[in-house]
Amino acid sequence: MASMTDLVSEGLKYPFNDTKKLLSLGALFALLNIITFGIFEMLIDLLTIVEETSPNSIAANSSTFASSDIYIIALFAIIGFIIALLIMGYQYDVIKFSIAKKNDLPGFGDVLSLLTKGLKYFIACFVYNIIPVIVFVAGIELLSVQNGDYYVSVLALILFIICNFLLIMALANMADTDKLTKAFDLREIINKIANLGWVTYIGITLFTFIVYAIIMVAISVILMFITILVAIAINQAMVILAIIATIQGLFISSYISVFFNRVYGSVYREAIK
């Protein structure tokens, strides 16, 4: 059985096996970041207009609002969701390649297949996180009402950690069989974790996140210096944010995404030996 350092080390190197494909994934992340940035920018502008306009004026001009910014925001949101599905479909394939112990990166040839796999990936992540989110929202409501009852929020955090520990194996179990239902076969998922060993499984997961945290701290420092240099040269906040969002998507999100999913698949591969 490979050690946790071997699995994480291989995961760190794997994205560089094909930098062209990695940059192609990065282009999708960058485009998604720009679209998200644009949506937030338009929402802020729209809210500013609403706040500065009297209720009567808003009612009189509701058709103008609907026909302009709201429709554009909806269109961008749909495009962004499609891009996100393509990214998740690619992550799905990275897990499959890892389970099969392939050293090359997946391609982007079959867009429909990527969208289908991405939808499966999205549904699995959504279902595993919906309960912690609901509990967290309930906790916030209780905090506002009871003024200091943090128990529900703590419970939400615990549920989030547990669900995402299981989600790692669930995504791999789904990708290995190409069946969405396998992401929710808890008995099979828990048996495979037990086969690997709970201590080993938790250890690899924690070690992966520690490595991720170290990488992100280093990247944050680099991005801070880039931001300062760009700010000196341009001195326009929105342009700076757009540039940073592009850099972050093109080089950072793509690498981290491939790294994480490669390790997910490798852990699963060790669990089914």
Residue 55 pLDDT: 55
151 pLDDT higher than 80: no
Could you tell me what percent of the chain has a pLDDT over 70? Answer: 88
77 pLDDT higher than 90: yes
Domain boundaries, the chain: 18-271
Can you tell me the mean pLDDT for 70-89? 93
Non-local (6+) Cβ contacts of 56 within 8 A are none
Can you tell me the mean pLDDT for 43-61? 61
Does this model's pTM top 0.85? yes
Please tell me the distance from the alpha carbon of residue 99 to that of residue 173, in angstroms, as a whole number. Answer: 10
What is the overall mean pLDDT for the chain?
86
Tens digit of pLDDT for each residue in 177-196? 999 999 999 999 999 999 99
Sign of the dihedral defined by the CA atoms of residues 123, 125, 131, 137, in that order: negative
71 pLDDT higher than 90: no
Tens digit of pLDDT for each residue in 1-39? 677 788 999 999 999 999 999 999 999 999 999 999 888
106 pLDDT higher than 80: yes
User: Residue 35 CA to chain centroid, in angstroms?
Assistant: 15
Residue 49 pLDDT: 63
Cβ atoms of 46 and 70 within 8 Å: the answer is yes
Non-local (6+) Cβ contacts of 128 within 8 A are 163, 164, 166, 167, 170
267 pLDDT higher than 60: yes
Please tell me the distance from the alpha carbon of residue 183 to that of residue 70, in angstroms, as a whole number. Answer: 36
63 pLDDT higher than 80: no
